[in-house]
Amino acid sequence: MDERDCIFCKIARGELDAEVVHDEDEVLAFKDINGRAPVHVLVIPRQHVASLEEVTSLPERVARRLFEVSSEVAAKLGVGESGYAVRINNGPDAGQEIFHLHLHVLGGESIGMP
Ligand code: 5GP
Ligand code: ZN
């Protein structure tokens, strides 16, 4: 899967609609189309990175921004205090469906471990 066909690259390029909650040069956050918690947002680098195995190709500042934006989005959506989970599904056993690195921000109810 390259950048032309990648769903999240298309969202980052504005070719596919998404409910964007945070937009900046190198990082984008939007609501998961199939939200599994009252707050379920995906935070992505605009640069196509398939998985954690490729994270070294991201500039350090962008890798850091993924975490900062996760925290900012949680606060913006009202779960900064109540708490939230930040999750990366990486590879088959984790059920990774979209091979463009993304952080799930899940909150608004008790989020347990699987
Ligand atoms: P994962 O790869 O981490 O297992 O899951 C990918 C996530 O992306 C799923 O939670 C799924 O609901 C979400 N998703 C898949 N396609 C789209 C889409 O076109 N738009 C949005 N907003 N979310 C999507
Ligand atoms: Zn992509």
Q: pLDDT by residue (tens digit) across 23-67?
A: 999 999 999 999 999 999 999 999 999 999 999 999 999 999 999
> Residue 54 CA: which ligand is closest?
2
**pLDDT of the residue at 3:** 85
d(CA 20, CA 22): 6
> Residue 37 CA: which ligand is closest?
1
- pLDDT for 114 beyond 80: yes
Q: Using the Cα atoms of residue 67, residue 72, residue 76 and residue 80 in order, give the sign of their dihedral.
A: positive
- pLDDT for 1 beyond 80: no
**pLDDT of the residue at 53:** 97
Q: Are 51 and 95 in contact (CB under 8 A)?
A: no
Is 69's C-beta closer than 6 angstroms to any atom of ligand 1?
no
Domains of the chain: 7-107 (3.30.428.10)
Catalytic residue of the set 40, 48, 100, 102 = 102
